[in-house]
Amino acid sequence: MAQQVAQLVVVRASGHSYDRQIGYPQWEPPTAHLRYLVQELGVGGVLLLGGSALEIHARTQQLQSWAEVPLWIAADVEEGVGQRFAGGVWWPPPMALAEIAAQDLPAACRFAQHMGECTAREALALGVNWLLAPVADVNNNPHNPVIDVRAFGDRPEVVAPLVAHFVQGARTHPVLTTAKHFPGHGDTATDSHLALPVLPFPPERFAALEFPPFQAAIAAGTDAVMTAHVLAPQWDTAIATASPVLVTDVLRHQLGFTGLVVTDALVMAGATARAPAADLAVAALQAGVDVLLMPADPVATIRAVVVAIEAGTLSYGRLVEALNRVWAAKTRMAIGGEDFPSLGEPADWQAVETLLTRSNRHFVPPGWTRPATGVNLVVVEAAPLLEGRSPAVSIPAAVGWPPLLVNHHSLAHLNLETLPPVFLQVFGRGHPFRGDRAPYLKTLQATVQTLVCHQKLSALMVHGSPQVLTPLLPLLPDTCPWGFSYGQQPAAQAIALGPLWAEATASAHAFTD
């Protein structure tokens, strides 16, 4: 029975080739233990994070060679394969499509379909057969610290068709899709990686706002729906992941979903806020969930489920039901993996460039001229990850604006009054485990106010989230240029800087060519 239960478990692993490259040892086992989990224990799948495309290609072949039953190889590729694995196409965040949809919804839907198709095609080339995408949340809470630009917008009438078209595009390949995070994680100000969010809304509100994108994904044929570790007290006293009301009564019966229901990662604090992880795994299966994603201790989790079945607290029939769905999903997916994966067709890169260009925003006052020299102050939420060849650094540097890279903690202690003219660039967006972003935004606001007061601010560029841009715009004088891009990747940086640094962009390109 243990091997049957193990088929319901997906473990996380590093995509890198060597154990010394493991970035998250608390979640990613060394190769010997990973082989044990796959070969001896018989887990159903592996979630990969980190590594280049070629490393992932080799890793997926290795993993499948260990498995008696074909594995799910899953990845969080909400922005395309290149978001996680270097070499693939890295699309802008889904919310960039909402910017297009505000003017041209059919065009945004075409982008979403291309994004889904491209992501599935490239994933399959690497041996990844389960996309933990798309995000179906409606991010209507501007203080949401974790969903943010991962969502396709803040209105269900926009999010629903974009989610559906992503699924339709992805399903042109034998790769699984996942609509997440049911019953909705968009209207929260709490990150479920750190604590348990509460959605105190009545069922009518969910039906009108949270559910339509999931209904659209189901109608489009999504293979899986991922539960959120949130509490919806007007539905149930149990968190959504362990709620028979939400999983079985609502998702299964009311919304008519017959595919896989998978938990969000069981290592998250929102998951374990009310019960130990092993107990939650049993409760989730009792509620109607089929797949347990990323338990902290897979062996203990499998043991707890076996004990619950033997004790009669979890029926064997529920296990069989879940296994039947697991097998049905695995028969639709391909093992994948080309001999030498080819990534990034010209049409894909052109679509990314067009989407970035159309979703960017800029304001340049007539007659504005930039000072000949100054400092390029680049602020990131975490430790600075940009390097000298990053366009956000290299383009200004090419014409006399050297970089000053800081995180928001050191920014608060920077003596801004002594700086020459400043081009302020901010990299900020919602991320798991970051928590409350209010201190970061307050520091940014204080920085802009000081630079404006001392007439030091030459221009502002925000890369990432409108949630970062919005509180800064009212602080700018009418004569101050500014720009915004949803993307943070190198291609996005280069395109975003064009309107503010046209001659510098040309100079940088000439230098690198």
Which of these is catalytic: 193, 229, 431, 463? 193
Q: What's the CA gap between 445 and 295, in Å, rounded?
A: 40
CB burial readout 37-49, b (16+ within 10 A) else e: bbeebbbbbbbbb
Taking alpha carbons only, the member of 505, 480, 495 closest to residue 422 is: 480
Characterize the bridge pairing of strands 361-363 and 482-485.
antiparallel
Q: Can you give the three-state secondary structure of 410-446, one letter per residue?
A: HHCCCCHHHCCCEEEEEEECCCCCCCCCHHHHHHHHH
Q: Cα(152)–Cα(134) distance, rounded to whole angstroms? A: 9
* CA–CA distance, 277 with 266 (Å, rounded to integer): 7
Output DSSP code: residue 52: B
**496 to each of 101, 102, 462, 512, 513, how far by Cα in Å?**
19, 20, 9, 18, 20
- Pairing mode, strands 260-262 and 224-227: parallel
Tokens of 429: 């967006």
Is 264 noted as a catalytic residue in this protein? yes
Omega before 181 within 30 of 0, i.e. cis = yes
Is residue 193 among the annotated active site residues? yes
Cβ(56)–Cβ(22) below 8 Å = no
Task: Give the pairing type, strands 45-49 and 9-14.
Answer: parallel
Per the residue annotation, which of 137, 154, 264, 290 is the catalytic one? 264
248, two tokens = 């079985």
Burial 421-447 (b: 16+ CB within 10 A, else e): bbbbbbbbbbbbebbebeebbebbeeb
User: 229 with 264: CB under 8 angstroms?
Assistant: yes
Q: What angle do CA 190, 192, 194 make, to 5 degrees?
A: 85
Q: Which of 502, 434, 440 is nearest to 472 (CA)?
A: 440
CA angle 459, 353, 96 (to 5 degrees): 70
> Cα–chain-centroid distance for residue 39?
30
Residues annotated as part of the active site? 193, 264
